[in-house]
Amino acid sequence: METLWAPWRMSYITGEREAGCFLCLDQTGPDRDRLVLFSDHLVLVMLNLYPYNNGHLLISPRRHIPSLSAAGEDERLALMNQAARATEILDRIMAPRGFNLGINQGRVSGGSVEDHLHIHVTPRYLGDSNYMTVFGETRVISEHLLATYDKLAPAFNE
């Protein structure tokens, strides 16, 4: 039997996370250490620390709000514009065959973010669903997060 090591996941599994909401970042602009590709006064775009696939992004409003209905029209427009921009950039640089986009509202929507609205942009590649996920309950991410960050950051800051 082969063993896949992913020690970076232990903090997620054991709940050893930073206090507060990780989407409520104080700084604006890119930040490699926190995987932030883009931010302005309305939205934040970052790599997902626990991705389903290479290039898996999170897009959120800067304000800590629970739902689309709580967002202002300018925030909803900015979220959708960044989702469109993200798929264009990922398509050009990562060359996926498609995308899954999902809006999470509330903790039971599937994530660990309780009350901060966010959109998942997950690139899909041919062959990305394989036996490892189905039988081994393990995901294989083929590129280090910082290598992906370094590929994408210049495009998000054009």
Q: Catalytic residue at 120?
A: no
- CA pair distance 76, 62, nearest whole angstrom: 11
- Confidence bin at 30 (pLDDT 50/70/90): confident
Query: What's the pLDDT tens digit per position in 88-97?
Result: 999 999 999 9
**Cβ contact 120:113 at 8 Å:** no
The pTM assigned to this predicted structure is 0.80
CA–CA distances in Å: residue 146 to residues 75, 122, 151: 28, 17, 9
Output the pLDDT for position 24: 79
The residue among 137 and 20 whose pLDDT is bigger is: 20
HSE-up of 87 (CA within 13 Å, CB side)?
Answer: 16
Query: What's the pLDDT tens digit per position in 111-158?
Result: 667 788 999 999 998 876 654 554 455 566 778 889 999 999 999 988
Q: Which domains does the chain have, with CATH numbers?
A: 30-156 (3.30.428.10)
Q: Which of 41, 56, 64, 118 is catalytic?
A: 118
- CA pair distance 83, 87, nearest whole angstrom: 6
